[in-house]
């Protein structure tokens, strides 16, 4: 009688992690950061209809990278969870932290029990009464959870983007400034990351057509989530050139 194939738990977990990490790194990135009047989501997403950023509840937004069907089922589960909690108790009782915990458990269950892990990273952001009270949670494919207070970067070459933000992020940025910073950070990724075919390319200008941008506005009553249409985006980003010429914050 032959013994069944034995794989040690360590190796099993390592292989699943590798699979998930590779899948996530292939995708385009998403940046979530707090600014003076709320939380800003900026996704490098050429599709107009397949959203990476979404509304979950009155004060809660969702962003994700990785495989679309996987994070979309998490998004829908999150909306269901939030709506059910708000319906059974009260709208005030729905919190981003609870939702992040729910996601952590769901991702952990998939990671340990299924053959293939979810190749996704998820960010749950909740806008608070002030910038210090904004909450952001980053969840990885294995259900591990990080609590961030300034910005969250997911997907692609997240480390490069994080580097730009670590250097230039300040508290109290206005919306336009925060958006320009996010766009510049996403551009930095393309510069170093897409160089697999040759030498490191110079950083790429990201056009507004391939951005998906949304905000959770602190002072908007009830539902804080709002998508920013491309037409408004170009106005906001165009201010960049003006500010650069006038000696505003520039980092090359």
Partner 1 sequence: MENPTARAQSGAALPNAYFAPGSSFVDFVRAAAPELLPGNRVVPEGQVGHPPHGTTVVALKYRGGVLLAGDRRATAGNLIVQRDIEKVFPADAYSAVAIAGTAGIALELVRLFTVELQHYEKIHGVPLSLEGKANQLSNMIRGNLELAMAGLAVVPLFVGIDVDSDGTEWPGRIFNYDVTGGRYEEHGSYHAVGSGSLFAKSALKKRHERDVDEDTAVRNAVEALYDAADDDTATGHPDLGRKIYPVVVTITPEHGAVRLSDERTSSVAEAVVAARRDNPGG
Closest CA to 107 of 143, 150, 135, 75: 143
Q: Which x/- pattern over 143-172 shows residues binding partner 1 (rule: CB under 8 A)?
A: ------------------------------
Closest CA to 139 of 155, 126, 120, 156: 120
Q: Which is nearer to partner 1, 10 or 113 (by Cβ)?
A: 113
d(CA 120, CA 49): 19
Q: Does 83 bind partner 1 (CB under 8 A)?
A: yes
d(CA 133, CA 115): 39
Cβ 43 to partner 1 shortest distance, Å: 14
d(CA 44, CA 46): 7
Q: Does 115 bind partner 1 (CB under 8 A)?
A: no
The single residue listed with the structure tokens 């293939």 is 116
Cβ 144 to partner 1 shortest distance, Å: 15
Query: Candidates 17-25, 74-82, 149-157, 212-220 — which segment interacts with partner 1 by CB under 8 A?
Result: 74-82
Alpha carbon distances (Å) from 19 to 27, 78, 111, 115, 116: 13, 25, 11, 11, 8
Exactly one of 56, 100, 145, 181 binds partner 1 (CB under 8 A); that residue is 56
Query: Candidates 14-22, 48-56, 144-152, 184-192 — which segment interacts with partner 1 by CB under 8 A?
Result: 48-56
Closest CA to 153 of 143, 164, 141, 142: 164
Cβ 114 to partner 1 shortest distance, Å: 10
Q: Does 76 bind partner 1 (CB under 8 A)?
A: yes
Exactly one of 13, 102, 175, 176 binds partner 1 (CB under 8 A); that residue is 102
Tell me, rounded to whole angstroms, the distance of Cα 112 from its chain centroid.
Answer: 24
Local structure of 29: helix, strand or coil: coil
Cβ-contact 71, 120 below 8 angstroms: yes
Exactly one of 11, 22, 93, 109 binds partner 1 (CB under 8 A); that residue is 109
* 60-66, strands of its sheet edge to edge: 53-57, 60-66, 120-126, 135-139, 145-148
Q: Does 14 bind partner 1 (CB under 8 A)?
A: no
Q: Does 101 bind partner 1 (CB under 8 A)?
A: yes
Q: Which x/- pattern over 197-236 shows residues binding partner 1 (rule: CB under 8 A)?
A: --------------------------x-------------
200: tokens are: 């490191």
Cβ-contact 40, 178 below 8 angstroms: yes
**Binding-site ranges for partner 1 (CB under 8 A):** 49, 51, 54-56, 73, 76-77, 79-81, 83-84, 86-88, 101-102, 105-106, 108-110, 113, 223
């Amino acid at each position: 009688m032959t013994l069944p194939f034995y794989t040690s738990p360590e190796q099993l977990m390592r292989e699943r992690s590798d699979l998930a990490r590779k899948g996530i790194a292939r995708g385009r990135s998403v940046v979530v950061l707090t600014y003076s009047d709320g939380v800003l989501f900026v996704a490098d997403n050429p599709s107009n209809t397949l959203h990476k950023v979404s509304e979950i509840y009155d004060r809660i937004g969702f962003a994700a990278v990785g495989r679309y069907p996987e994070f979309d089922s998490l998004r829908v589960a999150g909306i269901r969870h939030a709506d059910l909690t708000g319906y059974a108790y009260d709208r005030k009782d729905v919190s981003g932290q609870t939702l992040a915990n729910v996601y952590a458990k769901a991702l952990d269950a998939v990671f340990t029990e299924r053959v293939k892990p979810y190749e996704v990273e998820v960010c749950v952001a909740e806008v608070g009464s002030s910038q210090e009270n904004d909450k952001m949670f980053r969840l990885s494919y294995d259900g591990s959870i990080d609590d961030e207070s300034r910005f969250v970067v997911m997907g692609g070459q997240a480390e490069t983007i994080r580097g730009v933000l670590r250097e230039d992020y300040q508290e109290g940025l206005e919306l336009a400034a925060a958006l320009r910073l996010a766009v510049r950070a996403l551009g930095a990724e393309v510069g170093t990351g897409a160089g697999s075919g040759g030498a490191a390319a110079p950083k790429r200008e990201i056009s507004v057509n391939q951005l998906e941008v949304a905000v959770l506005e602190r002072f908007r009553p009830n539902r804080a989530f709002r998508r920013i249409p491309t037409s408004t985006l170009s106005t906001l980003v165009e201010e960049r050139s003006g500010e650069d010429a006038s000696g505003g914050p520039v980092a090359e």
